[in-house]
Structure 1
Amino acid sequence: MEFIMKENSFVADLEFGQLEVSGNADFGFRPYQLLVSSIAVCSGGVLRKILDKKRVDYKDIRIKADVKRNEQGANEVTDIHLHFILSHVDASDEKIEKIMDLTRKNCPIYQSVKNSIQITETFEHKDDE
């Protein structure tokens, strides 16, 4: 990847398209947003693969991410809570907990930051949608 400086951001041309990153949300995606998105979406993708591999039926996965940053320091990300909402999932809570453990172990982004950011996870079933 190569990032090229612009007046208020840095830009990279990637396979999918152009990525514009800036510390100011008016000019691009903020770095912490990309960090949190990477962890959440990597976890969601691994979760999806494991559910499919184990032949667990589900309709949808949504992920809510809550972020804490250290305003006293460099405003670094200290804590991320991921809440997975699984729609019409055909598995017990116990089975999903085991799958979530496998998800953590197999998500490369989670594994990359686990010793520097506190990551917690919860899940719920939604069957009324």
Structure 2
Amino acid sequence: MEFHMKEIGFYTETANGRLNIAGDEEHGFRPFQLLVSSVAVCSGGIMRKILEKKRIPYEDIHIKADVVRNPEKADKIEKIHLHFTLTGIEISQAQMEKVMALTAKNCSMVQSVMESIEIEETFEIK
């Protein structure tokens, strides 16, 4: 990837268009938002693949990400809590716990940050 400076922040061109990144939300995605999004969406995508591979039907996966940052350490992200809400799924608690463990194990973004950021993953079925 290549990043180009603009008046406020930077941008990169991707196959899906221009991605603006800046410390100010009015001018692009904030870097911490991209990091949290990467962890959340990677986890969701892996979960989706696991459910499909196990032939467990579902209607929707919603992910809520809560972030704890430390203002004493340059607003370092210290914890990301991912809460998955699955709808239209019939799965036992034990099966879902196995899916969650496989999701964390196989998500490259979770594996990349787990030594420096606490990742907590919970779920509910509606």
Q: What TM-score do you get using the length of structure 2 for normalisation? A: 0.98
Q: Aligned equivalents of 1:113 and 1:84: distance in 2?
A: 19
Give 1:84 shift: 0.1
2:94 alignment partner in structure 1: 94
CA shift, 1:90, in A, is: 1.5
| 1:55 lines up with 2:55 in the alignment | yes
Aligned to 1:106: 106
Runs of 4+ in 1 over 3 A off after TM superposition: none
| DSSP 3-state at the match of 2:43 | helix
Task: Tell me the residue number matched to 2:73.
Answer: 73
5+ long unaligned stretches in structure 2: none
Mapping 1:37-56, distance limit 5 Å: 37-56=37-56
1:29 Cα offset (Å): 0.2
Question: Residue 19 of structure 1 aligns to which amino acid in structure 2?
Answer: L
How far the C-alpha of 1:9 sits from its partner, in A, is 1.1
Trace 1:27-46 onto structure 2 (pairs within 5 A): 27-46=27-46
Residue identity opposite 1:84 in structure 2: F
* Aligned partner letter, 1:51: L
Deviation at 1:122, TM superposition (A): 0.5
Identify unmatched segments of 5+ residues in structure 1: none
Name the structure with the higher helix share.
2
Aligned to 1:26, what secondary structure does the other structure show? helix
Give distance in 2, aligned partners of 1:83 and 1:49.
18
3-state SS, counterpart of residue 51 of structure 1: helix
Partner Cα separation in structure 1 for residue 13 and residue 77 of structure 2: 26
Q: Distance in 2 between matches of 1:120 and 1:85?
A: 14
Q: CA deviation at 1:16?
A: 1.0
State the Cα RMSD in Å.
Answer: 0.5
One-letter code of the match for 2:26?
D
